A and B are shown apart, each in its own frame.
Chain A
Amino acid sequence: MLPVVVVHGGAGFVPRQRSELSVSGVCSAAGSAYGILKGGGSSMDAVVNAVTLLENNPAFNAGIGSVLNVRGDIEMDALVMDGKTLASGAVSAVRNIANPTQLARLVMEKTSHACLTAEGASQFARAMGIPEVPVESLITDYSRMRWQKNLAADANPVECQMGKMG
């Protein structure tokens, strides 16, 4: 079997001045994950590695650089699924975690549930020994600029999300 990994960095608008960062980011993540596959690693190890790298790259709007909600706060979601067993794990509305995908994998591996959300997910992360990080460390100048710009254009939280892609 020829191993393969494919990654994406989102379908939202990428300004031209950030396009090189986006392309180099997905190439780097794909290259790293492919190295795991070539070394005999599992597809689950590969996808979690790739997405973790993308979460840690502020060029993308997951993990560090996440888009902000209407309050200027962070709420992140993640999902993993293993095609061999159909096992899956997810988290939603997590705030103080650097890598939600790794937490989603723990939900899959350590619980009988499919998804943990908000404070429950945070409690689970603490129980698993996942270090909490300040929300501020996940917020970039770019995400704050976009949030403020959008607030100014649309004060209505329903209207301002129309047409926006996550």
Chain B
Amino acid sequence: TVGAVAVDTEGNIACATSTGGMLNKMVGRVGDTPCIGSGGYADNNIGAVSTTGHGETIMKVTLARLILFNMEKGQSVEAASDSGLALMKSRVDGLGGVITVDPQGHWAARFSSLQMAWAAAQSDTLHYGLYTGE
């Protein structure tokens, strides 16, 4: 799965997510990616999220919208992302990762899996990582 979230110079927010799915999936299986609120969500008033990971568990907690709900309650992009991933782990034993932005341009790349390739560009600076803590 691959994805992107962005805030432009006018403060508008968008997300996109794309996937081939899950290795050796059953024919006809559709995961979280095309499901609004699960594979991604964007709202100029709150922020945007693109998700990756175990699709069935992401759908059970509607992970993207859950993280934005956490942000609506006042959590930072980082805390909201971690809270969403923690709930997915505790309630449905799911692992995955998310990228999150808010309208102010704060961003986070968080994951509960062993690794997630990510990169962020802001203020002419490129940040990137693959393992936890990078």
What is A's interface to B at a CB cutoff of 8 Å? 1-14, 19, 22-23, 25-27, 29-31, 33-34, 37, 40-44, 46-48, 50-51, 54-55, 60-63, 65-71, 73-84, 86, 88, 90-93, 100-101, 104-105, 114-115, 117, 143, 146-147, 150-151, 154, 157-158, 160-161, 163-166
Would B119 and A77 count as touching, CB distance under 8 A? no
A8 touches B18 (CB 8 A): no
Contact B19 A61, beta carbon cutoff 8 Å: yes
B6 touches A70 (CB 8 A): no
Chain A residue numbers with a CB within 8 Å of B42 are: 81-83, 86
Q: Is A62 in contact with B9, judged by CB distance below 8 angstroms?
A: no
Q: Are A80 and B115 in contact (CB under 8 A)?
A: no
- Beta-carbon contact of B126 and A31 below 8 Å: yes
Per a CB cutoff under 8 Å, which of B5, B54, B118, B122 touches A166? Answer: B54
Structural contact, B119 and A30, CB atoms closer than 8 A: yes
A2 to B5, CA, bound (A): 14
Find the A residue at minimum CB distance from B21.
A166
Contact A54 B2 (CB under 8 A): yes
Question: Known interface pairs A46-B4, A75-B27, A158-B26. Does A9 touch B117 (Cβ–Cβ under 8 Å)?
Answer: yes
A161 and B6: CB pair below 8 A?
Answer: no
**Residue contacts A-B, CB under 8 angstroms, 11 given:** A5-B120, A6-B107, A7-B3, A11-B96, A11-B115, A12-B1, A19-B130, A30-B4, A63-B20, A70-B27, A147-B24
Q: Is B67 on the interface with A (CB-CB < 8 A)?
A: no
Select the residue from B36, B98, B109 with max chain A CB neighbours within 10 A.
Answer: B36
Interface residues on chain B, number (Cβ under 8 Å) = 77
Known: A48-B16, A161-B23. Is A69-B29 also a contact (CB below 8 A)? Answer: yes
19 other A-B residue contacts (CB within 8 Å) besides A14-B115, A79-B17, A83-B47? A1-B8, A3-B9, A4-B107, A5-B120, A6-B120, A12-B1, A23-B130, A37-B6, A43-B12, A51-B18, A60-B2, A69-B26, A76-B21, A78-B33, A79-B33, A81-B42, A82-B12, A154-B24, A165-B96
- Select the residue from A75, A81, A82 with max chain B CB neighbours within 10 A: A81
User: Which residues in A have their C-beta under 8 angstroms from that of B115?
Assistant: 11, 13-14
Q: How far is the CA of A9 from the CA of B19 in the complex (A)?
A: 10
Residue B22 lies at the interface, judged by CB distance under 8 Å to chain A: yes
- Bound together, the chains give a CA A79 to CA B49 distance in angstroms of 12
With both beta carbons as reference points, the residue of chain B lying nearest to A5 in the complex is identified as: B6
Contact A114 B36 (CB under 8 A): yes
CB atoms of B4 and A5 under 8 A apart: yes
User: Is B39 at the interface (CB under 8 A from chain A)?
Assistant: yes
CB pair A8–B99 under 8 Å, yes or no, is yes
Known: A6-B99, A76-B20, A92-B30. Is A166-B55 also a contact (CB below 8 A)? yes
Question: What is the bound-complex CA distance between A101 and B4, given in angstroms?
Answer: 11
* A92-B13 Cα distance, complex, nearest whole Å: 23
